[in-house]
Amino acid sequence: MQKYAKPATVRARTPSALFALVAVMTGAGGAFTPSAGAAEVNIYSSRHYDADRQLYALFTAETGIKINLLQGKSNALVERLKREGKYSPADLLITVDAGNLGRAQAAGLFQAVRSKVLEAAIPARFRESGGHWFGLTMRARVIMYHKDRVKPSELSTYEALADTKWKGRILVRSSNNIYNQSLVASLIAANGFDKTEAWARRLVANMARRPRGGDRDQIRAVGAGEGDIAIANTYYLGRLLASHSAKDRELTAKIGVFFPNQKGRGTHVNVSGAGVTKYARNKAGAIKLLEFLVGPQAQKVFAEANFEYPVNPKAGRSAIVGSWGPFKADSLNVAVLSKHNAEAVRLMDRAGWR
């Protein structure tokens, strides 16, 4: 997990600040006992970006509400919330992917909330219809290609990646990754289980290597010539292009972005998002924070600092992300992705996607 310097968003001498640093390294394994005053919001988050901490600091400066942050992996945080039950100090769970948000909802960890601000700022397809969770940022899972070895005219849809012309040329991370599970879930929603399983078997046959590493590793491998195309989330390429590492910038300089299915349903998109926990002690403060995070100021920080697409359509994109051009996004409500998650996992296993 990425290590950080002392975060500017948390007072370094407070117990909660110390724990926030410890939690990054331990995966949320320590004791977390912040006070439950109305002037504090306690967050469990699987996001690990400096941009988030900057936003919490801005929120505190604007509202006077202090943020106590515990970071860990999504599954660990969900299990922690289950274990803590009504004694949990958490007011808000923030995590990545609608699949993870759906799992938390299915476990009864969220309460429904209503906010005219959230409903006005977030398109309906990027939030749960009952108000249990809300998208905060959007990311597209696209085809990335080496400009010297692949022409954009050769690319079209996710489905077309099953063509034998891509044999030994495709790079993608493992099936236990929630991003891939949600992509497959979207294909099940569009094409049905049987057709998607057949597609997955052919995709596996076209892989350049056994899946390993994260999205950035797939992109780097395309730049290094280990494959010609990768399936990855857009913001990872943005982070590599803006990296302090000259090697990363060199490897990704010739990577192009292709948005699949533009003549049909559109490119698969997903969200990172949040829900107010079932036993939140500061529900009002948690909602206020959510409303702040989808406002123009916060959405700009998400876009500029982490190269994510703003979920609020009124907010702009970073220059790097904007350079990839506009695209048609799949109109499927992302909440549907979690409903097909179990099918997607079973399908990928049957197809030999390791």
pLDDT digits (tens, 9 = 90+) for 79-108: 999 999 999 999 999 999 999 999 999 999
74 and 121 belong to one structural domain: yes
Domain that holds residue 160: 139-267+326-350
75 and 132 belong to one structural domain: yes
Q: Is residue 106 part of a domain?
A: yes
227 and 121 belong to one structural domain: no
Q: Is residue 296 part of a domain?
A: yes
* Count of C-beta atoms within a 10 Å radius of residue 68: 25
202 and 247 belong to one structural domain: yes
Instruction: Give residue 37's pLDDT.
Output: 55
CATH number at 194 reads 3.40.190.10
Q: Is residue 161 part of a domain?
A: yes
Instruction: Give residue 21's pLDDT.
Output: 35
Q: Is residue 10 part of a domain?
A: no
Q: Is residue 9 part of a domain?
A: no
Instruction: Give residue 36's pLDDT.
Output: 52
In the predicted structure, residue 165 carries a pLDDT above the cut 60: yes
Q: Which of 40, 20, 10 is closest to 282 using CA atoms?
A: 40
Q: From CA 342, how far away is CA 298, in angstroms rounded? A: 34
Q: Is residue 156 part of a domain?
A: yes
Q: What are the pLDDT digits (tens) for 266-292? A: 999 999 999 999 999 999 999 999 999
34 and 63 belong to one structural domain: yes
When pLDDT is averaged across residues 298-315 and rounded to a whole number, the result is 94
Q: What are the pLDDT digits (tens) for 170-182? A: 999 999 999 999 9
Per-residue burial over 199-227, b = 16 or more CB atoms within 10 Å of its CB, e = otherwise: bbebbbebbbeebeeebbbbbbbbbeeeb
Q: Is residue 5 part of a domain?
A: no
29 and 95 belong to one structural domain: yes
253 and 293 belong to one structural domain: no
Instruction: Give residue 16's pLDDT.
Output: 38
Instruction: Give residue 38's pLDDT.
Output: 65
333 and 187 belong to one structural domain: yes
When pLDDT is averaged across residues 250-262 and rounded to a whole number, the result is 95
Based on the number of CB atoms within 10 Å of its own CB, is 139 exposed (0-12), middle (13-18) or buried (19 or more)?
Answer: buried
287 and 334 belong to one structural domain: no
Instruction: Give residue 15's pLDDT.
Output: 32
In the predicted structure, residue 19 carries a pLDDT above the cut 90: no
Average pLDDT, the chain: 90
β-pair type (134-146, 92-96): unpaired
When pLDDT is averaged across residues 334-339 and rounded to a whole number, the result is 96
The pTM score is 0.87
144 and 134 belong to one structural domain: no
Placement of tokens 């997607």 in the chain: 344
What is the residue type of 170?
Answer: I
260 and 277 belong to one structural domain: no
Q: Is residue 149 part of a domain?
A: yes
Please count the structural domains in the chain: 2
256 and 340 belong to one structural domain: yes
